Amino acid sequence: MNKILSVQFLDNYKIAVELENGSSFVYNLKPKLKTARFAALEDIDFFKSGILVEKDFIKWSDSLMLYAYEMLDGMKK
């Protein structure tokens, strides 16, 4: 599994992700803001407060996380 080297929170609820293998992509979280799981991230300041944990996931709170595999699986669709 690819590990995340860095993340950068961009405007319009996008996340620039750089992987350890040198690949990078921009993940658009905006469509997921309508779900119960991610609704709290509509607050742009809260969205931008996420932190990368263990090169594996972005954490906003103890109950709100987004894993690398979820972003990568979402990019395949």
What's the distance, CA 34 to chain centroid?
Answer: 15
Q: What is the pLDDT of residue 74?
A: 73
Task: Tell which CATH classification among 3.40.50.970, 1.20.1260.10, 3.30.2020.10, 3.30.565.10 matches the domain 4-76.
Answer: 3.30.2020.10
Judge if pTM exceeds 0.75: yes
The domains of the chain are located at: 4-76
Per-residue pLDDT tens digits for 3-58: 999 999 999 999 999 999 999 999 999 999 999 999 999 999 999 999 999 999 99
Q: What is the pLDDT of residue 77?
A: 60
CA torsion angle for 37, 48, 27, 62 (degrees, to 10)?
A: -40
